Amino acid sequence: MKRSAFLLAVSLLFMSCATMAQRGQPLVTRAADALGGADTLAAVKTVSLRGTVRQWEPEQSMTAGGEARFACESMFEAVTDVAAGATRIDWSRKFAYPAPRTFTFTEVVTPATGYVAGIDSNGRTKQSLEATPPAHTMSGLRLAATQRELRRGSVVLLHEMLKNPDRVSPVGDVTVGGTAYPAVDYRAGDQTLTVLFDKATGLPARIRTLDYDNIWGDVIFDLVLADWQTIDGVRVATTRRYELNGRTVSETKIAGGKINGAVASDLLAIPEAFRTGAPKPAAGAVPYQWVIRRQFIGTYLDSDAPSYDTRATSSLRLVELAPGVQHVVGGSHHTLLVEMRDAVVAFDAPVSDGHSNWVLGAAKSKFGGKPVKYLVLTHHHMDHAGGLRAYAAQGATLIVGKGTADHYRRVLASPFTRNADLGARDLRGTAIVEVAERHVIADGQREVHAYRIDNPHADGLLIGYVPDARLGFATDIWSPGAGPLPDKLNPALAALVAGVKKAGIEPTRFAGGHGSVADYAPLAALEGR
């Protein structure tokens, strides 16, 4: 190499180092120092932490747009082998919603595989149901989401960033609640964490991702770190709060821990039978908010298709309940389709716009290309309304319960550039009809009714009725065919029976947003018992 070329190469090397140094690395270095120093962090081989978690779900609220529902209180013990990138968490989760119950289970997450021993959800997969004792591999979606959150909350995240300066870039100050935080982006695979630093202490204050939420569209998801304590020479945030668009949805309190304690290797082992053929972490469009928050209420279906179990079925499917009446089943959440003279009425838009796209396609081919002109949303919960945009995008009118129209207007006005299933567009012009008591869609051939009923599940909840088929449709207050009826009416079932009576309708059967279809008379007969 000629001398001039050599000097040029050397100077380019220095320039790139200098550029890299300007590119946010001083913030990372300062934070690492504040956490105990680069050498201390580099020497962390194992991390054991125990504590409690409380969680709230904003989109399972009683009132649309109202106070978040308290979902769960958990105790956990977590151990991490830093070099192996493996973590085990033993959980005891006490759920308050949708029904009180406790799940005790273990998660083991390695770079390649996620494993769950025990029952962690009411939405059990075929694999979990067939395993003795119950166990299953995590879907690629859950594995990717869990790995992201373990990285975000890791005691050694800053050391990982220190070792990978090429994946760190400054993003300028980010202002939260009037305070400016210097910040950097850190890329790990196709995930980006934005780390906001406290100007005074240099410690990481917030770790942010930009997610998609099926109700609120583009959302900000922050882990807020506070109450720093020193555990075996390493600073650890002992309060960790997740904020979704500024609202607290989860709060972890670390009660104690140990750095570099002995960890038995078999603690982190995944049985061979569950490692073979296990899904790899999903890349690209992971519906993080769905995967994470369905676990808050213990109903997550751990599958790589968010709305059905890929180990049990390959698709959703239609079941004909009456002429021109199709129940969309095969997944965890159902839609009812009713054919009119030149339009189709749909009840509920569950899970995602991906789910809705399937339903809209199936309706089109089943009903000779007739458009779905009306979407009746029984209630505002994220699992039954999260696919509303696909219907709005093709011009459907929303039929919703009293007191909820403003909520849906705000939802439809929210940007959704990160929606993997539907391109961004302006949905603010969507027509919304609010039902105070009763709404009838009629075309001279067929009527479809919606009735608002008082109930303990969600304010403004609607039930559907197709008079010529004497078929009702209910979501969450009754799951027809999902199991035997109780001996006595519970408050939700009593609300349905009272609502049917008040409406003056005479259903012989009900189809459900969950479950399947069942005769109504046995339910009505429980009244007064």
Q: Which residues bind Zn ion (CB under 5 A)?
A: 381, 476
- In whole angstroms, the minimum distance from the beta carbon of 458 to Zn ion comes to 6
User: In a 3-state reduction of DSSP, which class is residue 141?
Assistant: helix
User: In a 3-state reduction of DSSP, which class is residue 448?
Assistant: strand
Tokens 């200098």 locate to 18
Of the two residues 206 and 381, which places its CB atom closer to Zn ion in the complex? 381
Q: How many Å apart are CA 199 and CA 191, to the nearest integer?
A: 25
- In whole angstroms, the minimum distance from the beta carbon of 61 to Zn ion comes to 10
Of the two residues 243 and 476, which places its CB atom closer to Zn ion in the complex? 476
Structure tokens belonging to residue 361: 């396609």
Instruction: Report which residue's Cβ sits closest to Zn ion.
Output: 381
User: In a 3-state reduction of DSSP, which class is residue 411?
Assistant: helix
Of the two residues 204 and 306, which places its CB atom closer to Zn ion in the complex? 306
- In whole angstroms, the minimum distance from the beta carbon of 403 to Zn ion comes to 16
Q: How many Å apart are CA 336 and CA 45, to the nearest integer?
A: 54
Structure tokens belonging to residue 405: 């129209």
Of the two residues 330 and 386, which places its CB atom closer to Zn ion in the complex? 386
Phi, psi of 147 (to 5 degrees): -60, -40
Q: How many Å apart are CA 252 and CA 50, to the nearest integer?
A: 10
Of the two residues 148 and 381, which places its CB atom closer to Zn ion in the complex? 381
Of the two residues 114 and 460, which places its CB atom closer to Zn ion in the complex? 460
Of the two residues 162 and 328, which places its CB atom closer to Zn ion in the complex? 328
- In whole angstroms, the minimum distance from the beta carbon of 92 to Zn ion comes to 25
- In whole angstroms, the minimum distance from the beta carbon of 499 to Zn ion comes to 16
**Per-residue b or e along 227-259, where b marks 16 or more CB atoms closer than 10 Å to that residue's CB:** ebeebeebbbbbebbbbbeeebbbbbebeebeb
- In whole angstroms, the minimum distance from the beta carbon of 465 to Zn ion comes to 19
Of the two residues 215 and 268, which places its CB atom closer to Zn ion in the complex? 215
Please give the C-alpha separations between residue 305 and each of 330, 351, 352, in angstroms, as whole numbers: 12, 10, 11
If we measure between CA atoms, which residue out of 66, 101, 98 comes closest to residue 492? 98
Helix axes 3-22, 25-34, angle to 10 degrees: 50
User: In a 3-state reduction of DSSP, which class is residue 155?
Assistant: coil
- In whole angstroms, the minimum distance from the beta carbon of 60 to Zn ion comes to 6
Please give the C-alpha separations between residue 321 and each of 86, 339, 343, 466, in angstroms, as whole numbers: 49, 12, 18, 11
Cβ neighbours of 104 (radius 10 Å): 13
CA triple 129-149-22, angle to 5 deg? 160
Compute the chain's Rg from CA coordinates.
Answer: 26
- In whole angstroms, the minimum distance from the beta carbon of 419 to Zn ion comes to 22
Q: Mark residue 461 as left, alpha or beta (left: phi above 0; alpha: psi -120 to 50; beta: remaining).
A: beta
Of the two residues 57 and 476, which places its CB atom closer to Zn ion in the complex? 476
- In whole angstroms, the minimum distance from the beta carbon of 457 to Zn ion comes to 6
**Per-residue b or e along 60-91, where b marks 16 or more CB atoms closer than 10 Å to that residue's CB:** bbeebbeebbebbebebbbbbbbeeebbbbbb
- In whole angstroms, the minimum distance from the beta carbon of 452 to Zn ion comes to 15
- In whole angstroms, the minimum distance from the beta carbon of 18 to Zn ion comes to 56
Helix (H) or strand (E) holding 163: helix 157-163
Strand partners, 181: 174
User: In a 3-state reduction of DSSP, which class is residue 390?
Assistant: helix
Q: How many Å apart are CA 335 and CA 319, to the nearest integer?
A: 11
- In whole angstroms, the minimum distance from the beta carbon of 87 to Zn ion comes to 32
Of the two residues 196 and 462, which places its CB atom closer to Zn ion in the complex? 462
Of the two residues 339 and 476, which places its CB atom closer to Zn ion in the complex? 476
Is the CA virtual torsion 116, 119, 123, 126 positive or negative?
positive
Of the two residues 146 and 378, which places its CB atom closer to Zn ion in the complex? 378
Q: How many Å apart are CA 150 and CA 163, to the nearest integer?
A: 18
Q: How many Å apart are CA 462 and CA 212, to the nearest integer?
A: 27
- In whole angstroms, the minimum distance from the beta carbon of 145 to Zn ion comes to 22
Of the two residues 197 and 408, which places its CB atom closer to Zn ion in the complex? 408
